[in-house]
Amino acid sequence: MEKAMVVTLIITLLTGFSQEQNILPPGPINKEVGANVLFTIISSPEPVHAIRWHFNGSEVIRYIPPGPEIVNSDYRGRVFLNYSSGDLELKGLSMNDSGQYTIILTFQSGLGVQDHILLQVFEPVFVISITSPEGNLIEYSSANFTCEGNGTISTTVWMKEYEILAPSSSIQFLDDNRTMVISPVKRSDSGNYQCAMSNPVSSSSAHYSITVNYGPDVRIFGAQTLEEGSDILLLCSPDSVPPATITWTVKGMSTRSAALYVTENSNPSDSGDYNCTCWNNVTGITASAVQVLTVRAVSSRLGPGVETGIILGVIAVVLILVVVIYFLIKRSKKPAKAVRETPVSMTADQQTDVTSGYNNMVAETLKRSKELTAGFTYHTQNGRSSPPLYENQSQTTPARRNRPPLPQNRETNDSELYCSAIVTSNN
């Protein structure tokens, strides 16, 4: 009886006759270099008798009761076999341990089963650096960024603000994504980039901040027509990285170098071309914009009070004239027609003229008083895509000027404030 069993067992072991059966979990098992792995038998139909483990076709360990176990010299000291379950533990894993492990189990009945499992051992990944082109990055050039790492690198992805980048018309990935080529580089490419390398057991990433230098794109904000006596207020807003150097040229003369150009109490001789020239010292680009400004002369230099006086005077004179003519006509009733018709019709004409003129003047006065109170207003249109604007609702009557509420500090600080407000809302 015992002999017969031993014979079948030996036949099984020698011929390798055994049927495939799922006694191991599905693989693969992923482990880091230096770690330990335990191959566990998850289901065994009968009590285990003899056990053999193979790696890539060569034997690792064999145990046939009563023993002793036979261990391949390459594994001495780092394999541990559980004789009752057949579980195998392998310690101190190296890259060379990656591969297929096969178990052949023989039961007391003589039945043999076998199964395999894949083990993958990885070096932990470590991103060492991101290399970028030397020098400043200028818009419309092209640039290669390379992510360098060590370990077992399975995947490499590039991210911008932690969003994975996909290839596009201007971004390409080469060499298993190790190299990112941006061509052409645009100002919108500025930002924080990450390169992440990973394998099933580890991951690592590095950060890189890309600054694209561009511009200047010059724009001037401000009124194009003003009335004499109002303030000239022009804002030159170059969209530029790094910030551009600003020069205002007015009537062929280079004047101020602040973003905000202010001239108080203008007169018609201030009309002309206001040229803002900006220079970016990194892109080397100089660009300019011109605002053609017209300062209109104001014909009447009298205040609204005086004007009202004149209007009332005219009305009084007309009324007196009407009354006088009326009495004249009444007195000379008989020589009727010739005398009568002409003056009356004349008076009527004059009267309508004056009345409509009076209405116009009242309307004009009302309008002016509104403008006086409105003065100079700034509108910052928050939350809209359009840049902040300011309008000059200038007053027309210099005799009664209210000083418009200009910014407190008109030098560099305010200029920068407006500049940055506009740059931000443009983006």
Residues contributing to the site for ligand NAG (CB under 6 A): 56, 82, 84-85, 87, 94, 96, 98-100, 123, 126, 128, 133, 142, 144, 150-151, 155-157, 164-166, 173-174, 176-177, 181, 242-243, 249, 275, 277, 281-282, 288, 290
The smaller minimum CB distance to ligand NAG, of residues 16 and 92, is found at 92
How far, in Å, CA of 254 to CA of 273, rounded? 12
> Do the Cβ atoms of 219 and 418 come closer than 8 Å?
no
Residue among 361, 403, 416 nearest 235 (CA)? 416
As a residue count, the chain comes to 427
The smaller minimum CB distance to ligand NAG, of residues 1 and 166, is found at 166
Neighbours of 236 (CB within 10 A): 30
Tokens of 26: 């599905």
Where are the extended beta strands (E) located within 65-111?
70-71, 79-81, 88-90, 99-107
The smaller minimum CB distance to ligand NAG, of residues 33 and 315, is found at 33
In the chain, DSSP finds a helix count (H) and a strand count (E) of 4, 31
How far, in Å, CA of 197 to CA of 210, rounded? 19
- Find the shortest distance in angstroms from Cβ 102 to ligand NAG: 11
- Find the shortest distance in angstroms from Cβ 170 to ligand NAG: 13
- Find the shortest distance in angstroms from Cβ 56 to ligand NAG: 4
The smaller minimum CB distance to ligand NAG, of residues 222 and 229, is found at 222
Tokens of 172: 């390409």
Q: Integer distance in angstroms from the first to the last C-alpha of the chain?
A: 89
- Find the shortest distance in angstroms from Cβ 166 to ligand NAG: 5
- Find the shortest distance in angstroms from Cβ 271 to ligand NAG: 16
The smaller minimum CB distance to ligand NAG, of residues 71 and 298, is found at 71
DSSP letters along 173-199, please?
EETTTTEEEESS--GGG-EEEEEEEEE
The smaller minimum CB distance to ligand NAG, of residues 156 and 266, is found at 156
Residue among 399, 415, 391, 410 nearest 225 (CA)? 391
Query: Which residue is at the shortest CB distance from ligand NAG?
Result: 99
- Find the shortest distance in angstroms from Cβ 59 to ligand NAG: 13
The smaller minimum CB distance to ligand NAG, of residues 125 and 396, is found at 125
- Find the shortest distance in angstroms from Cβ 364 to ligand NAG: 38
